[in-house]
Structure 1
Amino acid sequence: MSYHLKPNEPIDQEVKRIAREQVNKSIAELTDTDLDKHEKVHQFRKRCKKIRGLLRLVRPAIGDTYQVENRWFRDKASEFSEIRDAEVLLETSQSLRKHAHKEVPSTYFHQIDALLRERQSVVMDEHEGRLTTTLIKLSDELRSARERIEDWVLEETSFSAIQGGFKKTYQRGCHMLQDVLEDGSDEVWHEWRKRTKYHGYHLRLLRNLWKPVINARRDEIDELGELLGDDHDLAVFEQTLHKYHKQFSNTKIIEKITCLCQKRRSQLQQRAIPLGTLIYAEKPKHICRRLKIYWEVVSKPET
């Protein structure tokens, strides 16, 4: 079993199956003695995002359950956001260094990495003492969440159960692209990234409708998601440096790194916009109509 719907099976049972599988995998990872605690946290956050993507796909059909469950998985994942954010900042610094060439002295990055490692150490010290206990407790909470899944009820059946959620997410992606073109603020770019991420989850869930076509589209979405993700990480990285600017004796460090960040972000954004324009070119009602035809063809019983 995996993260995709089977059109020839009852949609409500499929939604429960996928959610249950993600929870089971998360419990297994949290109790796996071969995984270190930070890998467990990383995997748990990924599982939560997948479940939230699934819930968003059936949002209109699942009613009030969406708000309850989406909030629960969102809040549980956010408990570990500080840990993950500290890791991403270091990863972003190392990635940015590859694009520095001779524009920024390597000693500047040494100082930045030292600051980020110190910050990561503080975060880890704050969480380390209770992290093991928290992960054990989380396993028990996931078992309760798994029991709740059995009570999920979808008010619609077949493609109608997912059409509203798919259309709304795709439509928001279209709107956010226009906002990016008109506004271009960090917040707008981040929102577009989130909508694109959810659209990617929905394509993964629906890939059985026509694998070659949907997988090709998903590859493009994944590429766009990486571009937007790298752009967001750089925005947070830059904000963090300005927050701690007083800890650098040489003001040129901030100036040089800021210029490099902005240059790299410009490159990423210039690649993201044309790709996103292609991905979101189709009108929401048209892409839904096309997917519905795929669904009806694939879900027909064989004669």
Structure 2
Amino acid sequence: MSFRIDPRLPLTGEVRRILADEVGKALAHLETAREKPEQGLHKCRKRLKSVRALLRLVRSGDEPFCQTENECYKQVSALLAGPREATALIETVDRLAAAFPEQSAGGGLDAVRDRLVMRQHEMHAGAGLDAAISAAAAACREGLGHIDRLSLPDQPEQAADILAEGARATLRRARKALDKAGSRGEADDFHDLRKAAKTHSMHLSLLGRLWPTPIKSRRKAVDSLGERLGDLHDVFVMRALLDADGEPLGPPEDTRLLAKLLKRSEKSLRKSCLADAIELFGDSPKRSTRKLARKARDDLAGAPDDLAAAAG
């Protein structure tokens, strides 16, 4: 079913429908993860991010429900973070090898990659992963039972204001993270920017019939930024492992090339991510969503007339 709010239908019913669909798909991916953890865990976490983005979008309409359920799915995602990260680190090494083929041609990254593959196998083979999947599935099934408790205003003006406020809150979050990333440049600042960009991308999908500007080009640009911010996050994680006690990635002679390539990759990603984020989130969040609120109000108010015309 569509991950998009239909303005012709009551907001409560639409949000309940999308929640049920996304949580149901997350459950299916959890079952896949028992046999294929690399695929299932990643897809499940993506569905959980979609669920949380939707809850953020309509939070002002039913704050107790949205806050409680968002925290629940945040904890579910955290249960699966470690095993997914193990796979992401291998992908990071492969990206570095592809980005710097001349430097890595001699196999200077092979020892590190072998250790990361062993680490991944250990995490996926243990009883802990199966327990985490079971706990996550139980929480998702419980969440499905809560969906009918959601109650949002369905009147056009109120529904429009809820959607506009949710979109605006995420844009404010992105702008704040952008300002910090530009001034301080800490890993957490870029991570917050990434999360806001991902949420905004999902809001663009949900509001595809209501967003007042050309949406395809913006969605493409936001998704590209989100992917590169994800690559930058993986670089930060890898560099932290390099500095960790016990040398989890190996002795200095095995990690020398990795450290060099991570530094180069980080510099390039920081520069490009900041430049594109300024283009996307540098404008005032209030100004960016004023048109959205007006268009949503008009579209939602016209929905009963559209349905009557279609029925006639």
Common topology (TM > 0.5): yes
Give, in angstroms, the shift of residue 181 of structure 1. Answer: 1.2
Q: Measure, in 1, the Cα distance between the counterparts of 2:25 and 2:248.
A: 44
Count of matched residue positions in the alignment of Structure 1 and Structure 2: 300
8 Å Cα contact 2:83-2:129 kept in structure 1: no
Residues 44, 174 of structure 1: alpha-carbon distance in 2 compared, 3 angstrom cutoff: same
8 Å Cα contact 2:210-2:292 kept in structure 1: yes
Partner residue, 1:118? 118
8 Å Cα contact 1:193-1:228 kept in structure 2: yes
Q: Measure, in 2, the Cα distance between the counterparts of 1:216 and 1:93.
A: 30
Partner residue, 1:241? 242
In the alignment, is residue 152 of structure 1 matched against residue 150 of structure 2?
yes
Give, in angstroms, the shift of residue 149 of structure 1. Answer: 0.5
TM-score (norm 2): 0.87
Give, in angstroms, the shift of residue 175 of structure 1. Answer: 1.5
- Structure 1 residues 91-130: aligned runs within 5 Å: 91-104=91-104, 106-126=106-126, 129=127
Residues 95, 297 of structure 1: alpha-carbon distance in 2 compared, 3 angstrom cutoff: same
8 Å Cα contact 1:7-1:158 kept in structure 2: no
> Any idea what SS the aligned residue of 2:159 has?
coil
Q: Measure, in 1, the Cα distance between the counterparts of 2:108 and 2:53.
A: 40
Amino acid at match of 1:98: A
Q: Measure, in 1, the Cα distance between the counterparts of 2:131 and 2:182.
A: 46
Residues 268, 134 of structure 1: alpha-carbon distance in 2 compared, 3 angstrom cutoff: closer
Q: Measure, in 1, the Cα distance between the counterparts of 2:196 and 2:216.
A: 18
In the alignment, is residue 19 of structure 1 matched against residue 19 of structure 2?
yes
In the alignment, is residue 187 of structure 1 matched against residue 192 of structure 2?
no
> Any idea what SS the aligned residue of 2:205 has?
helix
Give, in angstroms, the shift of residue 148 of structure 1. Answer: 0.3
Partner residue, 1:172? 173
> Any idea what SS the aligned residue of 1:193 has?
helix
Amino acid at match of 2:95: S
> Any idea what SS the aligned residue of 2:101 has?
coil
Partner residue, 2:295? 294
Partner residue, 1:163? 164
8 Å Cα contact 2:22-2:51 kept in structure 1: yes
Give, in angstroms, the shift of residue 215 of structure 1. Answer: 2.0
Amino acid at match of 1:267: S
8 Å Cα contact 1:59-1:165 kept in structure 2: yes
8 Å Cα contact 1:60-1:161 kept in structure 2: yes
Give, in angstroms, the shift of residue 210 of structure 1. Answer: 4.9
Query: Which piece of structure 1 moves more, 292-301 or 6-15?
Result: 292-301
In the alignment, is residue 196 of structure 1 matched against residue 197 of structure 2?
yes
Query: Which piece of structure 1 moves more, 146-155 or 167-176?
Result: 146-155
Amino acid at match of 1:68: T
TM-score (norm 1): 0.89
8 Å Cα contact 1:12-1:153 kept in structure 2: yes
> Any idea what SS the aligned residue of 1:98 has?
helix
- Structure 1 residues 11-160: aligned runs within 5 Å: 11-31=11-31, 36-104=36-104, 106-126=106-126, 129=127, 131-132=129-130, 135=133, 138-154=136-152, 157-160=158-161
Cα-to-partner distance string for 1:10-67 (whole Å, 9 max, x where unaligned): 1111111110111222334445699634433222211111100001111222111122
Identity %: 25
Cα-to-partner distance string for 1:213-257 (whole Å, 9 max, x where unaligned): 1222111100110111111111111212332537644x3443432
Residues 207, 104 of structure 1: alpha-carbon distance in 2 compared, 3 angstrom cutoff: same
Gaps of 5+ in 2: none
> Any idea what SS the aligned residue of 2:6 has?
coil
Residues 34, 109 of structure 1: alpha-carbon distance in 2 compared, 3 angstrom cutoff: closer
Amino acid at match of 1:149: I
Partner residue, 1:218? 219
Residues 231, 31 of structure 1: alpha-carbon distance in 2 compared, 3 angstrom cutoff: closer
Query: Which piece of structure 1 moves more, 240-249 or 269-278?
Result: 240-249
Note the aligned Cα RMSD (angstroms).
2.5
Q: Measure, in 1, the Cα distance between the counterparts of 2:265 and 2:167.
A: 32
Q: Measure, in 1, the Cα distance between the counterparts of 2:81 and 2:141.
A: 22
Q: Measure, in 2, the Cα distance between the counterparts of 1:32 and 1:90.
A: 21
Residues 8, 203 of structure 1: alpha-carbon distance in 2 compared, 3 angstrom cutoff: same
Gaps of 5+ in 1: none
Q: Measure, in 2, the Cα distance between the counterparts of 1:247 and 1:217.
A: 39
Cα-to-partner distance string for 1:258-291 (whole Å, 9 max, x where unaligned): 2211111211222212211111132111111111
Partner residue, 2:274? 273
Residues 168, 131 of structure 1: alpha-carbon distance in 2 compared, 3 angstrom cutoff: same
Give, in angstroms, the shift of residue 131 of structure 1. Answer: 4.2
